[in-house]
Structure 1
């Protein structure tokens, strides 16, 4: 009997081709769309190519019909609100910059979906992520970065557990986006040229601050811009409108480029500096998830990635209690509290990852 796999279907080309490849490999494939947001005005599916609204459900349903596999819709709206939207809002209140896609991957696409899949007596779940799962000599599972694939998504998946990795298939491993679209076109899937998802799926206009003011239930108070000496140099419209490294949208001119260096929720101040003052020698990360290794007992060489588009930089990581201290070999710009720090070995395997608490 063929092994059963629940394929997370977003209605996009990646998950569609992933389902096709799994069926071709002999798996008993079930397509599932996780319904997490239904407001089409807020989640502009057709224009953005998003993955969360009613249009995505219909696209996924049509693909599953074309592939002759069963299709279901799971309502995960409440867990998405609790674990992703509320987290997103709360982090901005704290002056941090969250990554909701990482939270969604961890709590919705894996915790919730895998639990449901196992209840359906499936052996695996699968997604259309561009990532590779490897089983290492030490018996552990790890995600391995594809250095040659600009679509590599391992950074956003660092939070997966050993159990989740063991029960996950990544059918697009080793395939590039152009090839995926070619496969979709060749087999007649109408989503072959559907645009990729852009920005955050539940904020259609990219106005994070406006969304938080509308949905968060708290009044956002204006405050002071200050320089690194603490001198007041202007007024800001509320800390939720800013992130470390930001230059545009400050709403004030200084006669020279100025950037957000720090956000202090206790004093409601946004610290501005010149670009050269944004560089840091390292960072402290918390809430660590270990992947290729069980722990970091001694100082270890690693390649640190501090944002999705960041090129990994050679570093040294050391355990500091339950946290990780990372020292870069070369200073890095705009280390941002709330973002993920993911640490890879020389072969691209994720050693561990966590949430950036502060630059050091």
Structure 2
């Protein structure tokens, strides 16, 4: 206890503090529940059933169905906390899977894990936590929540950069952040595994979840075709110079920056530089055609100081990450046709509509300022239309 606060920063003794632990059945969320129980908190475990585990094709590393629900229930029994399974299948299908299919069909590249955090987990589940009288909701995400000078929550990158999940959590709102807690944010994965063994959890050696939970074999196109029958209609593969190089079997099979599997041979390395979904055209070109000078955002979320509008007006310096696997790059904020935009200090390659543009403090801190979904790009080479 420090200045009357418990370890979660709430002014109550742990035994009087109710915490809903979101339990996916994996090692991370299981350790969170066990840690909080060991610290004396009133812990309630909740697991979401996100798709029909009877009909779903189970694969190693999937989550939120079948065996994972069973594992979460067993962990709750092991540590002695109440546990509930909530059927969010219809919400998940509507808010995440349908959006996934429509985004692909529009020629963009979706990130369903962000949509899931944004809607099902941090909106619907969080509301349930409030209904249960919880003082906070804890998850197994590798991200840090720190209390700012104003007493409100700030989102910071995880201490273990190799596990950092800030890219997938940029859409967390300030009100959500004030209620959420991330107990693993300062820990490396090796220590989390060690804690699972310390608590004797049956999931201590369970593999991490991989890829997208509702994509059985890594084939996004098969899922889109199932959700939107007939979406795999073919079209032309066209070079930037206008040459028709071949045919494809559906734009859902392609993403910006893709090189492999194009099915055309011209003697030069070619990459997907644009997807013209309405006309069913995949446009290819040389690598330099992938370079962009900036981007503009839709559905922006800002959890930094002041407002996003003020930051754009001031041309604020930020670091921006446009892919989960890339390091944030120096940039500045501004406007493009009246919309919040990011302008890179150096041209960035393979920026794709539908992906996230996540903003970080540029002054050497680890703070996440927010971000948005990429709505369009500002080309470095005018041969490529935004």
Tell me, yes or no, whether TM beats 0.5. yes
Measured after TM superposition, the shift of residue 175 of structure 1 is: 0.4
TM-score normalized with structure 2 length: 0.89
**Aligned partners of 1:139 and 1:228: how far apart in 2?**
53
Aligned with 1:244 (options 246, 252, 256): 256
1:6 alignment partner, SS class? strand
CA RMSD in angstroms, aligned pairs only: 1.6
Structure 2 unaligned spans of 5+: 1-14, 379-386
| 2:342 is aligned with 1:326 | yes
1:193 alignment partner, SS class? coil
Measured after TM superposition, the shift of residue 147 of structure 1 is: 6.0
Aligned pair in 2 of structure 1 residues 219, 356: CA closer, same or farther (>3 Å)? closer
Correspondence for 1:317:
333
Cα deviations by residue, 1:273-325 (Å, 9 ceiling, x for unpaired):
12222111211111100112322231000000001111100111124577321
1:253 alignment partner, SS class? coil
1:77-226 alignment to 2 at 5 Å?
77-138=89-150, 140-146=152-158, 148-226=160-238
Runs of 4+ in structure 1 off by over 6 angstroms are none
Aligned pair in 2 of structure 1 residues 291, 322: CA closer, same or farther (>3 Å)? farther
2:193 alignment partner, SS class? helix
Aligned with 1:304 (options 311, 314, 320): 320
1:287-298 alignment to 2 at 5 Å?
287-293=299-305, 294-295=307-308, 296=311, 297-298=313-314
1:32 alignment partner, SS class? strand
Aligned pair in 2 of structure 1 residues 189, 147: CA closer, same or farther (>3 Å)? closer
Across the two proteins, how many residue pairs are aligned to each other?
Answer: 358
TM-score normalized with structure 1 length: 0.95
Cα deviations by residue, 1:18-48 (Å, 9 ceiling, x for unpaired):
1111122332111110001124564424x22
| 2:34 is aligned with 1:20 | yes
| 2:352 is aligned with 1:336 | yes
| 2:374 is aligned with 1:353 | no
**Aligned partners of 1:353 and 1:41: how far apart in 2?**
36
Measured after TM superposition, the shift of residue 352 of structure 1 is: 2.0
**Aligned partners of 1:355 and 1:171: how far apart in 2?**
27
**Aligned partners of 2:338 and 2:136: how far apart in 1?**
31
Cα deviations by residue, 1:183-238 (Å, 9 ceiling, x for unpaired):
10122111111111111100111111121112213442101111112221111111
Aligned pair in 2 of structure 1 residues 112, 321: CA closer, same or farther (>3 Å)? farther
Kept in 2, the 8 Å contact 1:136–1:292? The answer is no
Moved more, 109-118 or 141-150: 141-150
| 2:298 is aligned with 1:286 | yes
**Aligned partners of 2:245 and 2:107: how far apart in 1?**
19
Aligned pair in 2 of structure 1 residues 42, 333: CA closer, same or farther (>3 Å)? farther
Aligned pair in 2 of structure 1 residues 150, 219: CA closer, same or farther (>3 Å)? closer
